[in-house]
Chains A and B, each alone.
Chain A
Amino acid sequence: MNLSIISQARRSSFPTLLFSLLPVLLFGTVLSFWEFVVWYTDYPKSILPRPSAIALAIFDNWDLLTSNIIPTASVALGGFLIATLVGLTLSLLMAYSTWTKDALYPNIVGFQIVPKIAWAPLFVLWLGIEFQSRLGFAVFISIFPIIISMTAGLKNTDPTLIRLCDSLTATKLQTLFLVRFPFALPYLISAMKMSITLAMIGVIVGEFITSQEGLGFLILVAFGKLETDLMLASVLFLCAVGLFFYSIIAFASYRLEIWFGNKK
């Protein structure tokens, strides 16, 4: 009784606040240190601008930066959604038919090992210099975690539960959709977290190669003019976009936990 009161007191109030502030404090300290060192040594701005200079660059180029969010974010999101849908369909198909799995899965795993970035120029060659090549490449790069993780998840259902379904004369399709698929959902969510990050990378790489728009393109333009502060500002915007997508999936993951009854 007493113990539970103590531990509750310890969990709430001051220390918790401190712990959640800890990363912010660290970040602030590093920024201040960075600001100070660059100012003190009078380091060239074109190589390492001060944090305050980056903030200023964001302010000065606000319209430029914001207008370039959409081309990058929409293609990344589109690629991610297509990858999720196609990856999901493929893994369900492979879970349903052993024949398909035997034929397909070793090839997918083999392909997964190939460094995928190396394919980027080929996508430009095949799909042109417009957004289609970047979309295609984003799908290509982000689909593998979905397939591999989902396949593992669908295989991971408690065998006794499969037996129960069998004993109830469930069809293969019923077992797949009513039991195996829901059990694999946590795998899907964690794969989606990986996949959205990869889709972003895919789009940026695509923009580096050909694009006339997007935050990746902006980085290259700023690079050409040695506007390092604008480069870093663009990177920051990319981080914000990535974080935004990630937090949506994290929220889905939280809802899933509730659905599974793990959280109240």
Chain B
Amino acid sequence: MCDGLSMLDQATSRSDAYVHADGVQKIFNPGPKQTLAVDGIDCRVKEGEFVSLLGPSGCGKSTLLMMIAGLETPTKGGVFVGGAPMQKPREDIGLMFQDSTLLPWKSSIENVMFPIRILRRDRKEYEEKAKELLKRVGLDQFLDKKPAQLSGGMRQRVAICRALIYDPDVLLMDEPFSALDAITRDEMNQVLMNLWQDFKKTGLFVTHSIREAVFLSDRVLVMSARPGTIIEDLEVPFPRPRDFSLVETPEFNEICGYLRGKIDAQH
């Protein structure tokens, strides 16, 4: 009886997971000099949930993210998004990198429209949406500016819009703000927080900033150093929408302190 219930419980939680990395292992350069990047990762993200992957540099967070994006194949285990196994990149998944990776010869609006061009969708249909998105992140004065004329924070704003334009269900973000200065970074966290309020995507966010992870996420997963495994799975209880006054509260700092302890305990 008890067993049956827990099995049922497991089954529902499985179907709950929109993004599911199931027992994932990744070995680079198999052979005598192989690197075990991540091992035995089990990670679930519910639909509409924002989850951060927190861990030290080189712990395989990005590798995990790339496997979920379908850009790397797991050595063992499988990745499922929306119930279907990930074997190659799909257009229902959006990606953001540490670098904005904008095309230098294209203006902001053209950069945002780039996925539409790749996906061969109707340009007219999305042009208004692109303008709308750029306006939403405060770049309405910069539609025709090229990346060289924008600041680092502005470039990442364009990159967010580019990831949202084709309306993917899942947004995967690989340390998108870690190359920015502290003030711009806080600003970008707020921008992302506000966007999330409207767009309700399923999000997976890789970072090594505890504060950023706690501020943005519904749940924080802590990864150990290589080979990366998940050593902590913590719900962040604060209601949304959140603003930056939250980071001053003792509850917020308590959670940060707890996570810091988890990360430090490994050294």
A residues adjacent to B (C-beta < 8 A): 158, 160-161, 163-170, 174, 178-179, 182, 259-262, 264
Contact = CB atoms under 8 A, between A and B. Distances in A.
B265 interface: no
Interface in B138-175: 146-149, 166
A167 B66 CA distance: 9
Contacts of A161: 101, 103
Interface residues of B, number: 27
B118 A168 contact: yes
B118 A174 contact: yes
Given A164-B95, A167-B95, A259 B71 contact: no
B101 A164 contact: yes
Contacts of B94: 167
B89 A261 contact: no
B28 interface: no
Contacts of B101: 158, 160-161, 164
Given A160-B99, A160-B101, A167 B149 contact: no
Contact of A169 (B91, B103, B148, B149): B91
Contacts of B71: 163, 166-167
Q: List 3 tightest A-B contacts by C-beta distance, closest first.
A: A261-B146, A261-B148, A167-B95
Nearest to A175: B118
Contacts of A260: 104-105, 146, 148
A255 to B, nearest CB: 11
Interface of B: 66, 69-71, 88-91, 93-95, 97, 99, 101, 103-105, 114-115, 117-119, 146-149, 166
B103 A170 contact: no
A158 B103 CA distance: 10
B97 to A, nearest CB: 5
Contacts, number: 59
Contacts of A264: 149
Given A163-B97, A261-B147, A170 B105 contact: no
B91 A168 contact: yes
Contact of A262 (B89, B117, B119, B148): B148
A159 to B, nearest CB: 10
A249 B89 CA distance: 40
Contacts of B90: 169
A259 B91 contact: no
Given A167-B95, A169-B90, A260-B104, 17 more contacts: A158-B99, A160-B99, A164-B95, A166-B89, A167-B93, A167-B94, A168-B118, A169-B89, A170-B118, A179-B103, A182-B103, A182-B105, A260-B146, A260-B148, A261-B104, A261-B148, A262-B104
A168 B146 contact: no
Nearest to B69: A167
Nearest to A263: B148
10 contacts: A158-B99, A160-B99, A164-B95, A168-B119, A169-B88, A169-B90, A169-B119, A178-B118, A182-B105, A261-B146
